[in-house]
Amino acid sequence: MRAELEILLRLQEIDQEIKKLESDKAQAPARLNVLKNNLASKDVDLQQITGRLSEIKKRRVDIEDELEIENIRLGKSQQKLTSIKTNREYQALLKEIEEIKKANKSREDEIVAVMEEADAIENDIKSKQAEIDSLQKEIDIEETHLARMEEELNSGLSALAGQRQAIAKDARQDLLSRYQFLRDKRGGIAIVSVTNAVCNGCNMNIPPQLFNELLRDEKVHYCPICQRLIYTEKNTENNGEGAC
């Protein structure tokens, strides 16, 4: 292989390593983001449940106030029974007393139901708070791990960037420009080998004459199909194809 291509091939290897590290760096926060989104969702759930608990507690206070007022009213109505003169007024007051008792019984039942719901919600809050605390610990661990990983990736990228710069200085500038153009247009692969007259970049056959010239290794060649820089390893298999 010509020396110019050896330089570019090494450059391509480094660029591939850089691409992988950059991909790893971009994907590294994925799990942390999932955990944070999960935490945010649980926080919203907790806020809603806590809000419901506040509503229930307020409702209990309101009912207890109503019950206290109605019990006072009941006591006064019961006291009035002794001073009623007519049977009609007596029966009307008895009906009123019965209605107050019935309403108060409903209030008492609602207070019990509200208390039971409040207990259930408080237990749910404790459970969800425990989940949030556990998830936050997991996030803290993941953030520490991510910071360490990013530090290692940045160190690796810095080292590769230095190697790339040193190698690029020795590259022929016209070929370097062509390589970088092809790298950006061909998914990071700008230089490929040819095996049995087949380009390993596009998997298409190259013309026999071009393959023979490639074997002689007298100048730089490009695949006529994908335009990548091409080379061939001189081995027995390829030499057998060279006379086509």
Q: What DSSP letter does each residue of the chain carry, written as one string? A: --HHHHHHHHHHHHHHHHHHHHHHHHHTTHHHHHHHHHHHHHHHHHHHHHHHHHHHHHHHHHHHHHHHHHHHHHHHHHHHGGG--SHHHHHHHHHHHHHHHHHHHHHHHHHHHHHHHHHHHHHHHHHHHHHHHHHHHHHHHHHHHHHHHHHHHHHHHHHHHHHHHHHHTTS-HHHHHHHHHHHHHTTT--EEEEETTEETTT--BPPHHHHHHHHHT-S-EE-TTT--EEE----HHHHHHTT-
Instruction: Give pLDDT, residue 1.
Output: 61
**d(C-alpha 125, C-alpha 45), whole Å:** 9
CATH of domain 14-168: 1.10.287
Q: What is the pTM of this model?
A: 0.67
**d(C-alpha 9, C-alpha 2), whole Å:** 11
Given a contact cutoff of 8 angstroms between Cβ atoms, the answer to whether 52 and 121 are in contact is yes
Domain boundaries, the chain: 14-168, 172-241
Instruction: Give pLDDT, residue 243.
Output: 32
Instruction: Give pLDDT, residue 54.
Output: 96
Instruction: Give pLDDT, residue 175.
Output: 94
Block mean pLDDT (10 aa), the chain, length 244: 89 96 93 95 96 96 95 92 88 94 95 96 96 96 95 96 95 94 95 95 96 92 96 57 34
Instruction: Give pLDDT, residue 185.
Output: 94
**d(C-alpha 93, C-alpha 100), whole Å:** 11
